[in-house]
């Protein structure tokens, strides 16, 4: 942390800021310059709260030099985190494809889809059992029954499954039946839920909040890791902007930035970003080209009948096309697709 003083700050003013820093248990290191003095702060173990210093007389600005996140920081762990889930590797050379319906609607729907998606190249099956819906009157998911259906689909097809926990109370149930716990965009800053998922033995996929900065996203992941769970997968799913032709705006620039700052794997969900199926394949291609470790897409056998997110769900034929295109792009970015 660097405290930049006003150019007219006299010695007493600089000294009183140094005293304030000392009273916080930290060491002030004044660096006199031609125009002004800056005070470097050392001796802190964790991040320092800048708000105590910005309001002091003579202070222009407080600049953070080190990052507030530790465990997710690549400086702490230069090697990529690679997560193994029942034979599927996330964060290694493989491009991972998670596919499935927005919601688990019935046993028949989910089993039939799982059987079709696996041979086409899906590595993990998705399906919501606890659904975060904008309207309380919309389909809220099948709850535990939905999780049981996913577990059956896993067993029949040897296909790991992922599903969302909406609240802390859902975590024990979700971790009982699925291989990866999903934390949705709306819950990215639900700290109690992040901590609870951090206590789980299951890997956690954390989706970016719809208005979350990169730092907020990484600090949310830090909550999970701080509870002892090292297996966190990040997922960019679009943020809210003024663009009104898509549901959200897919922020692909976060992919290389995350790769630079963190060792955690990052996937991209083009379905929720796009909101319409015709955009999903081009965005998925772009995500892999940008360096994502994989994609998560929604697929439905009959999207017009879907109980949620039908407009953005790919048909099975479109999913087959997506896989073809992924297989073309993957070697160009020196990655691999798991053999089916």
Rounded to whole angstroms, the Cα distance separating 258 from 107 reads: 37
Which residues ranging from 272 to 301 are in contact with ligand PEP (CB under 6 A)? 272
Cβ neighbours around 123 below 10 Å, total:
24
Nearer to ligand PEP, 272 or 307 (CB): 272
Rounded to whole angstroms, the Cα distance separating 78 from 100 reads: 33
Structural Rg of the chain based on CA atoms: 23
Does residue 129 bind Mn ion (CB under 5 A)?
Answer: no
Minimum CB distance to ligand PEP, residue 101 (Å): 9
Does residue 125 bind ligand PEP (CB under 6 A)?
Answer: no
Nearer to Mn ion, 126 or 263 (CB): 126
Nearer to ligand PEP, 48 or 296 (CB): 296
Q: Among 48, 185, 220, 322, which residue sits at the site for ligand PEP (rule: CB under 6 A)? A: 185
Rounded to whole angstroms, the Cα distance separating 17 from 6 reads: 12
Task: Give the range of 100-108, 116-124, 139-147, 231-239 binding Mn ion by CB under 5 A.
Answer: 100-108
Task: Give the range of 29-37, 109-117, 140-148, 184-192 binding ligand PEP by CB under 6 A.
Answer: 184-192
Task: Give the range of 165-173, 182-190, 287-295, 318-326 binding ligand PEP by CB under 6 A.
Answer: 182-190
Tokens at 4, concatenated:
């930049």
Q: Among 102, 178, 264, 267, which residue sits at the site for Mn ion (rule: CB under 5 A)? A: 102
How distant, in Å, are the alpha carbons of 254, 255, 274 from that of 286? 13, 11, 13
Minimum CB distance to Mn ion, residue 283 (Å): 15
Q: Extract the runs of DSSP E, i.e. beta strands, from the chain.
A: 2-5, 27-32, 37-42, 59-63, 83-85, 88-90, 94-100, 124-126, 161-164, 180-183, 204-207, 232-236, 266-268, 294-298, 336-337
Q: 11 in helix, strand or coil?
A: helix
Contacted entry of Mn ion, ligand PEP, none for residue 237, CB cut-off 5 to 8 Å set by kind: ligand PEP
Minimum CB distance to ligand PEP, residue 102 (Å): 6
Tokens at 235, concatenated:
């997922």
Contacts of the segment 84-92: beta carbons below 8 A, 24+ positions apart: 85/124, 85/160, 85/179, 85/180, 85/203, 86/158, 86/160, 86/179, 87/158, 87/160, 88/123, 88/124, 88/160, 88/338, 90/203, 90/233, 90/265, 90/267, 90/293, 90/294, 91/233, 91/264, 91/265, 91/293
Q: Among 28, 128, 198, 303, which residue sits at the site for ligand PEP (rule: CB under 6 A)? A: 128
Contacted entry of ligand PEP, Mn ion, none for residue 170, CB cut-off 5 to 8 Å set by kind: none
Q: Among 9, 102, 181, 264, which residue sits at the site for ligand PEP (rule: CB under 6 A)? A: 102
Q: Among 113, 203, 309, 313, which residue sits at the site for Mn ion (rule: CB under 5 A)? A: 309
Q: Among 91, 184, 198, 265, which residue sits at the site for ligand PEP (rule: CB under 6 A)? A: 184
Q: Footprint of Mn ion on this chain (CB under 5 A)?
A: 102, 309
Binding site for ligand PEP (CB under 6 A): 102, 128, 132, 164, 184-186, 207, 237, 269, 272
């Amino acid at each position: 942390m660097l405290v930049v003083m006003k150019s007219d700050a006299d010695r007493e003013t600089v000294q009183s800021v140094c005293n304030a820093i000392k009273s916080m248990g930290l060491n002030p290191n004044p660096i006199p310059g031609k125009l002004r003095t800056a005070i470097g702060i050392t001796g802190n173990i964790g991040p320092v709260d800048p708000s105590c210093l910005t309001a002091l007389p003579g202070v222009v600005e407080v600049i953070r030099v080190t990052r507030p996140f530790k465990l997710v920081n690549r400086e702490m762990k230069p090697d990529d985190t690679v997560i193994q889930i029942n034979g599927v590797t996330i964060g290694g050379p493989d491009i991972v494809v998670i596919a499935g319906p927005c919601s688990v609607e019935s046993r028949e729907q989910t089993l039939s889809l799982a059987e079709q998606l696996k041979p086409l190249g899906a590595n993990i099956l998705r399906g919501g059992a606890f659904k975060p819906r904008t309207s309380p009157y919309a389909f809220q998911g099948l709850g535990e029954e939905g999780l049981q259906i996913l577990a059956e689909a896993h067993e029949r097809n040897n296909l790991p499954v992922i599903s969302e926990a909406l609240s802390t109370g859902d975590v024990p149930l979700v971790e009982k039946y699925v291989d990866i716990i999903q934390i949705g965009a709306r819950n990215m800053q639900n700290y109690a839920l992040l901590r609870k998922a951090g206590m789980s033995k299951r890997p956690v996929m954390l989706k970016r909040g719809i208005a979350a900065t990169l730092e907020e996203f990484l600090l949310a992941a830090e909550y999970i890791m701080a509870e002892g769970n090292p297996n966190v997968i990040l997922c960019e799913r679009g943020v809210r902007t003024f663009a009104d032709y898509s549901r959200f705006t897919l922020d692909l620039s976060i992919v290389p930035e995350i790769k630079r700052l963190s060792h955690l794997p990052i996937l991209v969900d083009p379905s929720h970003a796009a909101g319409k199926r015709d955009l999903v394949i081009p965005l998925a291609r772009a995500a892999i080209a940008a360096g994502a470790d994989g994609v998560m897409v929604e697929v439905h056998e009959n999207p017009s009948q879907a109980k949620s997110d039908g407009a953005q769900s790919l048909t099975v034929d479109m999913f087959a096309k997506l896989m073809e295109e992924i297989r073309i792009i993957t070697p160009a970015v020196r990655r691999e697709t798991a053999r089916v």
